[in-house]
Chains A and B, each alone.
Chain A
């Protein structure tokens, strides 16, 4: 009589992962990450900059409360000539034309711009990375159609495409929530710029030994995608983020700039409800419009230099973080 032996244990991929986790000492991963992090000064600097902006956003939300989007507008400033420059009471000076304090307006804009940029970039990146990676892993007809759609979407300068799509839908959106909807259009337009490079990398990754072996070990497609492919295919997407930051601020700036002389045109060209609405791009546009002078440079420099510096330092923070994370991932890739 022989009793039937239990069938040989077939380890699932989850069990294998858990096995690896058991071998790693508790906290080791965290310490490893911390060491990598502190050994990467540009990442530290980037995180510090973004942390500052995050803190400023929270402070602005708390301090200004419900009055955040309605800055005090002084008509006498709007038409005062020459406009008051930086001084103790107004360290960043005053913006003529719209008649607001530059520092006050910049501070109010922090949570708003952070929200616009996060929604725009997060939506574009999520859609783009998921579609690109999945198309790369899956191949076939899905891959074909994703590539086709991405090629179509990337067939037109993105700043123009955003405005076309927004103009088509704008009238359906109640005026109160236009600003909330606007960043989503960046997602609709910018996703191909993430999907295309991610797809190429993930296609290459599918052929790599570690993916092959995970597949041989029975990994499901979502597991392959999220555990192995996406983390390793993320680096071109991270390189793209600053470029899209450029696209977002280009749209936020160029149309108020073209329209700054006329409130009527302003309403048609911008998702912002009025020219006083605190937003960095609009501030930069109007600051340049009212303050820049080719005939007598630098003109009223505080009007455009401080908004430009704000956008620049924020973008610098984002870029440093993206480059830092990319390096972190690439180090992991090689080890």
Chain B
């Protein structure tokens, strides 16, 4: 739950990554596209994609052509970082540095590299300003002090200032004379451009994750806890709101694209929602991301492609209609220490992105191919800006770099014809240049204009093999003759298999891609097989999103002939895995029987021998018998509890809704109506058997958490050491506090110590625990940040903390786990990372203190009474009569006596302890088992607990079932151990019971 309660907290504050005060995404408000745009919406100008509805933050230019690789001059207006990017209109460009100095710069001078009169005017606004908007005849800019300022474009004179209580988030959109903006604390506002009067102010219901986006008559805002809200642009009325169920990355707001709202739904996923009503259209999960890679900027949109740029400089192009990955452009030259914060800019056919290699790349939208690169060797956090044939990049040392001017506007004509192998001209062939898309005319001819540069032309027509041509344009080009071979399709058949059991999986959609293009898709049949015609050559087969399986991919070279037997494996995502062979169990039965008979015979023989020797017949001591009895009962208790969970979590909800249930045989689901009681009971019986069998035998399947899909055991290996480490420290902490306080309070009832402890215990007990955590965190947050340079969230320092000191060390793994032992405290010390060790220790102690603050009051309720009784025991009275000092009696005589009772109290409160540690882990965003458990709690409530196949559409993550199984086991074993230890220390408890 996704929740996850803890990560909610995390999102309330900026994380350690990224420059403070400025969202790493930089360009703020969202882009809207051509193609699907509503005619009235200011989504595009002259075919150029706009940014947040603002024409001047687009690449629109009536003057120049597409950019060329030539780099222009550099001019540095400031000595401080420029993170707002550059916007241009008319003869001036505008930018602002992090301290709020706004510069208007003469473009002609800028192209020459500066000189007198380059800065036309400068003005001052608050710290960490947003990207300015200059589309409306005014320069409108917001800042972290909460002010929105409108300045005259030519003189910089302040027209009006409007102040909000909270920082204005990056990106302001000015549409139809109205300024739309969002603030950190969740306010969305519309201000009239004329006069600065507020038209309306509404709350989005939580802190915003990034800037608002405007499209047509709607304003969209995303909250950091995953809410997406649409307001009426005219009145501010809330049109709809949904919860995405995911926590959003800070600084990343929604992007609007005609009738869709695209949101980087968390660090690794992108989702598309209908602008009309917020219904989910598709969700793309970047499960293939490299370790620690994440999305830190808004998706950019153009044509029918959504682009995602990740922290480590990888680019993904996703089909905006289907949500299927078109291409990715992995950056092989990634240089550690130069993270990518710049948001990309795009034209309808080319994306301009500044990446980790410090190069500006022009990338073809159709194919993902890099058209050219321009090297800047400069760190930039601002967005790339394009205007009138130039691209601008504002960097961290206060400089603006220009690219593209030199060759802009000198196009050469390229013409030619496209024919089939027989020489027949082909009409309607699509020609992708990377800059434009053209078609051949009726006689197969085409005519293009291309500026100097290197191109990869693609010629594509349905029924023919796609042909590529490399072309370098430096002058006139000879006519091209392109022959498209006829596409011959061959039958390809194969199976989608469950990677765990090898059974076929039904209803999986298999997408087939050629080297550049999507070719076809098909759905698997009930036995998991599929067959379709495909061309020869390299293919990628991608199996996606069946209900209870993850995605799978298979690269494959299709021969020039039919091919049979390609296999795509997909990992199962819940416990709906039949036992490898359920009959293994029955093979064990004879051995079990043999063992039982053998033991009985042996016990009987031993007893009679003891009687014969005049000893009491019992072989084991009373204590040993008690331990044995409880140990035998334990699995039975576990079984009963799991049965209850199965009945209430799976059977009853399904019975109430009367949803058809699955009868499960070899990987396929045949539905079974409730009117057929025999079939239904078979389904649930088999479901129950599989559920229990899998849990007890460790067949825990594959789980998905965040962007990771791994065996459930792997998650436990990653996260359990952290929980154990915290548990040990927190329990020690709590035990010492509870022992000292309990003994002192119970020893002298109604004295100040007792009254104080009782009052504190009642307050601590009744004050809702999440509010205790929130309050303590608020108190600690600032001092912690100042002392360590890191927020108190998590247990390891945040990635940004490491990056500020080099890079994230090699001993931190892909799940932010540590190696070699998995215990963060030990591993940090192992690698001599003492600064990190200090932070880990401080965070662990903080969490332990939080746990103690909640758990100790509960515990004291039990412990205090026990002490009062122990203080009246005969041995204490006798000691007192002998004149032994009170402090000795208290700490030695009574202190020892209460240990067994305290252990019993611990056994009684263990479930509460486990719940408390889970809550603290989750709310402090600690990557630990409790976080996983609670984050899936909301998921559980929605989907039911248990074996999902029986409950129709109920599909809980199986990791939930595994963790709850472990929690119950821990509680039962822990209670048993505490009770046994208590009896061992104080046999009187056993004797009292024996009476």
Shortest beta-carbon distance from A317 to chain B in Å: 10
**B774, B861, B972, most chain A CB atoms within 10 A:** B861
Contact A295 B3, CB 8 Å, known A207-B992, A239-B862, A284-B771 = no
Q: Check if A297 sits within 8 Å of B967, measured CB to CB.
A: no
Contact A167 B653, CB 8 Å, known A203-B995, A258-B3, A294-B777 = yes
A138 to B648, CA, bound (A): 32
For residue A281, which residues in chain B have a CB less than 8 angstroms away from its CB? 768
Stretch at the interface among A27-35, A58-66, A100-108, A155-163: A155-163
Closest to B995 in A: A207
Does B404 sit within 8 A of A, measured CB to CB? no
Does A204 sit within 8 A of B, measured CB to CB? yes
Secondary structure at chain B's binding surface: helix, strand, loop or mixed? helix
Does A323 sit within 8 A of B, measured CB to CB? yes
- Considering only residues 630-657 of chain B, those with a C-beta below 8 Å from chain A are 633, 637-638, 640-641, 644-645, 647-649, 651-653, 656-657
Q: Check if A261 sits within 8 Å of B225, measured CB to CB.
A: yes
Shortest beta-carbon distance from B244 to chain A in Å: 10
Q: Check if B771 sits within 8 Å of A288, measured CB to CB.
A: yes
Does B205 sit within 8 A of A, measured CB to CB? yes
Does A210 sit within 8 A of B, measured CB to CB? no
Contact A268 B941, CB 8 Å, known A79-B238, A82-B165 = yes
Size of interface on B: residues with Cβ below 8 Å to A: 82
Shortest beta-carbon distance from B636 to chain A in Å: 8
Contact A239 B865, CB 8 Å, known A168-B648, A246-B765 = yes
For residue B945, which residues in chain A have a CB less than 8 angstroms away from its CB? 164, 167
For residue B166, which residues in chain A have a CB less than 8 angstroms away from its CB? 295-296
For residue B653, which residues in chain A have a CB less than 8 angstroms away from its CB? 167-168, 171
Does A97 sit within 8 A of B, measured CB to CB? yes
A236 to B861, CA, bound (A): 10
Does B770 sit within 8 A of A, measured CB to CB? yes
For residue B774, which residues in chain A have a CB less than 8 angstroms away from its CB? 288, 292, 294
Q: Check if B762 sits within 8 Å of A172, measured CB to CB.
A: no
Q: Check if A206 sits within 8 Å of B941, measured CB to CB.
A: no
Shortest beta-carbon distance from B31 to chain A in Å: 26
Shortest beta-carbon distance from A101 to chain B in Å: 18
Closest to B640 in A: A152
For residue B942, which residues in chain A have a CB less than 8 angstroms away from its CB? 265, 268
- Considering only residues 249-277 of chain A, those with a C-beta below 8 Å from chain B are 249-250, 253-255, 257-259, 261-262, 264-265, 268-269
Give per-residue flags for A19-53: 1 if the beta carbon is below 8 A from chain B beta carbons, else 0: 00000000000000000000000000000000000
Closest to B755 in A: A42
Contact A294 B781, CB 8 Å, known A152-B640, A157-B912, A262-B243 = yes
- Considering only residues 910-942 of chain B, those with a C-beta below 8 Å from chain A are 911-912, 914-915, 918, 937-938, 940-942
Does B242 sit within 8 A of A, measured CB to CB? yes
Shortest beta-carbon distance from B873 to chain A in Å: 14
Shortest beta-carbon distance from B6 to chain A in Å: 11
Does B9 sit within 8 A of A, measured CB to CB? yes
Secondary structure at chain A's binding surface: helix, strand, loop or mixed? helix
- Give the interface size bracket for A toward B: 35 or more
Shortest beta-carbon distance from B235 to chain A in Å: 11
Q: Check if A312 sits within 8 Å of B763, measured CB to CB.
A: yes
A250 to B942, CA, bound (A): 19
Give per-residue flags for B650-688: 1 if the beta carbon is below 8 A from chain A beta carbons, else 0: 011100110000000000000000000000000000000
For residue B657, which residues in chain A have a CB less than 8 angstroms away from its CB? 171
Does B470 sit within 8 A of A, measured CB to CB? no
Q: Check if B862 sits within 8 Å of A288, measured CB to CB.
A: no
A107 to B838, CA, bound (A): 49
Contact A323 B201, CB 8 Å, known A81-B187, A268-B941 = no
For residue A264, which residues in chain B have a CB less than 8 angstroms away from its CB? 242-243
For residue A204, which residues in chain B have a CB less than 8 angstroms away from its CB? 992, 995
Shortest beta-carbon distance from B185 to chain A in Å: 7
Contact A167 B649, CB 8 Å, known A246-B765, A261-B227 = yes
Name A156's contact: one of B202, B861, B911, B941 (CB within 8 Å): B911
Shortest beta-carbon distance from B745 to chain A in Å: 12
A206 to B765, CA, bound (A): 33
A305 to B765, CA, bound (A): 16
A262 to B781, CA, bound (A): 28
- Considering only residues 295-309 of chain A, those with a C-beta below 8 Å from chain B are 295-297, 304, 308
Does A290 sit within 8 A of B, measured CB to CB? yes
Q: Check if A258 sits within 8 Å of B766, measured CB to CB.
A: no
For residue B226, which residues in chain A have a CB less than 8 angstroms away from its CB? 261
A197 to B993, CA, bound (A): 12
A288 to B5, CA, bound (A): 13
- Considering only residues 62-104 of chain A, those with a C-beta below 8 Å from chain B are 78-79, 81-82, 96-97
A197 to B863, CA, bound (A): 13
Q: Check if A295 sits within 8 Å of B771, measured CB to CB.
A: no
For residue B206, which residues in chain A have a CB less than 8 angstroms away from its CB? 261, 289
A160 to B1, CA, bound (A): 14
Shortest beta-carbon distance from B785 to chain A in Å: 11
For residue B207, which residues in chain A have a CB less than 8 angstroms away from its CB? 295
Q: Check if A243 sits within 8 Å of B858, measured CB to CB.
A: yes
Shortest beta-carbon distance from B738 to chain A in Å: 14
Contact A295 B13, CB 8 Å, known A152-B640, A165-B648, A239-B865 = yes
Shortest beta-carbon distance from A185 to chain B in Å: 10
Closest to A249 in B: B768
Q: Check if B861 sits within 8 Å of A258, measured CB to CB.
A: no
Give per-residue flags for A226-246: 1 if the beta carbon is below 8 A from chain B beta carbons, else 0: 000000000110011011011
Name A243's contact: one of B241, B765, B938, B968 (CB within 8 Å): B765
Closest to B859 in A: A243
For residue A196, which residues in chain B have a CB less than 8 angstroms away from its CB? 908
Does A142 sit within 8 A of B, measured CB to CB? no
For residue A284, which residues in chain B have a CB less than 8 angstroms away from its CB? 768, 771
Does A14 sit within 8 A of B, measured CB to CB? no
Does B526 sit within 8 A of A, measured CB to CB? no
Q: Check if B203 sits within 8 Å of A97, measured CB to CB.
A: yes
Q: Check if A203 sits within 8 Å of B992, measured CB to CB.
A: yes
Give per-residue flags for B729-744: 1 if the beta carbon is below 8 A from chain A beta carbons, else 0: 0000000000000000
Give per-residue flags for B463-506: 1 if the beta carbon is below 8 A from chain A beta carbons, else 0: 00000000000000000000000000000000000000000000
For residue B940, which residues in chain A have a CB less than 8 angstroms away from its CB? 167
A316 to B226, CA, bound (A): 37
Name A81's contact: one of B201, B652, B912 (CB within 8 Å): B201
**A158, A249, A261, most chain B CB atoms within 10 A:** A261
Q: Check if B656 sits within 8 Å of A311, measured CB to CB.
A: no
Does A128 sit within 8 A of B, measured CB to CB? no
For residue B767, which residues in chain A have a CB less than 8 angstroms away from its CB? 308, 312
Q: Check if A164 sits within 8 Å of B645, measured CB to CB.
A: yes
Contact A242 B203, CB 8 Å, known A160-B937, A193-B908, A206-B995 = no
Does A293 sit within 8 A of B, measured CB to CB? yes
Q: Check if A288 sits within 8 Å of B937, measured CB to CB.
A: no
A82 to B185, CA, bound (A): 10
A206 to B992, CA, bound (A): 10
For residue A170, which residues in chain B have a CB less than 8 angstroms away from its CB? 656
A261 to B11, CA, bound (A): 14
For residue B613, which residues in chain A have a CB less than 8 angstroms away from its CB? none
- Considering only residues 416-461 of chain B, those with a C-beta below 8 Å from chain A are none
For residue A240, which residues in chain B have a CB less than 8 angstroms away from its CB? 861
For residue B17, which residues in chain A have a CB less than 8 angstroms away from its CB? none
- Considering only residues 194-208 of chain A, those with a C-beta below 8 Å from chain B are 196-197, 200, 203-204, 206-207
For residue A243, which residues in chain B have a CB less than 8 angstroms away from its CB? 765, 858, 861, 912
Contact A148 B637, CB 8 Å, known A193-B908, A242-B762, A315-B765 = yes
Would you give 6 A-B contacts (Cβ < 8 Å), ordered by A?
A155-B972, A246-B766, A288-B770, A296-B166, A308-B768, A319-B762
Given contacts A157-B914, A167-B653, A249-B768, 15 further A-B contacts (CB under 8 A): A148-B633, A154-B911, A154-B971, A156-B967, A156-B968, A157-B912, A158-B911, A168-B649, A168-B652, A253-B770, A261-B225, A262-B242, A296-B185, A304-B771, A311-B766
For the complex of A and B, the 7 pairs showing the least CB-CB separation, nearest first, are A168-B648, A171-B656, A315-B766, A157-B915, A262-B243, A168-B652, A207-B995
